[in-house]
Structure 1
Amino acid sequence: MEGIRERLIVALDVDEASRACRLAECLAPWVGMFKVGMQLFYGQGPAVVEALRRTGARVFLDLKLHDIPRTVAGASRVLARLGVSMFNVHAAGGAEMMRAAAEAAREEAAAMGLPPPLVLAVTVLTSIDQEAFARELGFGGRISEKVVAWALLARECGLDGVVASAREAAAIRQSCGPDFLIVTPGIRPAGAPAGDQKRVATPAEALKAGATHLVVGRPVTEAADPVEAVKGLLAEIKDSWG
């Protein structure tokens, strides 16, 4: 089960650090990493990352950094000092910004004697469908084409992988090779509602498409029994993987 649990990331999209830590402590035996997003980080600050790390949790800090290269490099150094295991930047920030983030994070981690964090590029949000992609964002072509182009750029810039919908995972895997990380949000257990997500997938669909990590939030954190919800997800993962 160890290899399976490492693929599962639970999104702690809650307001309070105490609740986040309780969830992390009870789910730790079954979860490889916990995602701290804007809601929790902006409400509680860096202290919530430190509190989670004291529980032994590995943290994926999902802030989608997107600014000029110097600013993003400085932020990446701060995140590396926090000891996060993974964080992301937005691919739309361009090559110079992505390179600056990866280089700064690795340099800072080495200086602090910490393992270097994995640095990912966010591609197209899973809440965006093809209509919004074209009409609201003004992009031509298909979502999958843009996602793959950004994934290739991220790989060229030395990033470890991307955050992308499972629907684009197969195309990313084919273009970027076997060692590139593909972290897929919008994961829903079979039969669960999509909520505000547009490009969703089940654990089995994501893994078969080439995803390396699955991000699950509300189906776990809003469940009557989060531990049982995670166990159900792990069973789906095991069935699809094994």
Structure 2
Amino acid sequence: MFESIHGLTPSRAAHLTALVEECLPLLSGDDGMELVQERLRERGAGVLEAILVTRELLGVEEVSLGAAKEIVLTSPARTAEFGRQLHLAETIEDSDDGSASWAGAAVSTAGDDQLMLVATNEAGLRVRKPSKPAMSTMVANLRRGNAFLIVERVSEESDANRYVQVWLRDDNTYQLEYRDGSAAEHYRTRTISQEKAITAVLGWASGDPSWTDAFMWNNIGSQFSGESQQSAD
């Protein structure tokens, strides 16, 4: 176990193996992964260790280090310390053969594509190129104090605003909004279903226009008339 992690000492590998064995039974519950992340935090496991343990629990052949990193960093147990430890998480690097480096170069995500998805929540967590599991987890983790999520398409060549956002209101309904390039194309709806909120975010992120068909949308572009006029000027 953990043989593919370059630079990992035998004692640290044994420690990580013990964590895997302790956390494995927790996965059988409905909130298994959340319980795993909380247990790892209680045991003093850092972000790097939590990422490696999470990947081992889910299957090294099935889950990439990048996906495991997003699961750890978007978990409630880690959100509060995200700002302090993100730079440590970025020292994990996937190699072409699926192995990893414990202290490799920082992963660079900016500039790889002309158009990039970026997900940001109210707690300050910012994930570049988020996976579907990461976005789903970020919506599922919305609560008081972390009630907003916005997923946007960022382009260095365009200043057009294209994003979808979710707000978990005090009445436990989800307010969904999306903007398609200009203030005039800003739409809003609400749902009581967390599952529908997740489906909406993933549908928008996929670029498939049919995702909007599941809702009745109100165009609220008139609320941003001042913004439209400023853009025109």
Give the TM-score, by structure 1 length: 0.31
Q: What TM-score comes out, normalization by structure 2 length?
A: 0.32
Q: Which has the larger radius of gyration?
A: 2
Q: Which one has the bigger strand percentage?
A: 2
Determine which structure has the larger helix proportion and give its number. 1
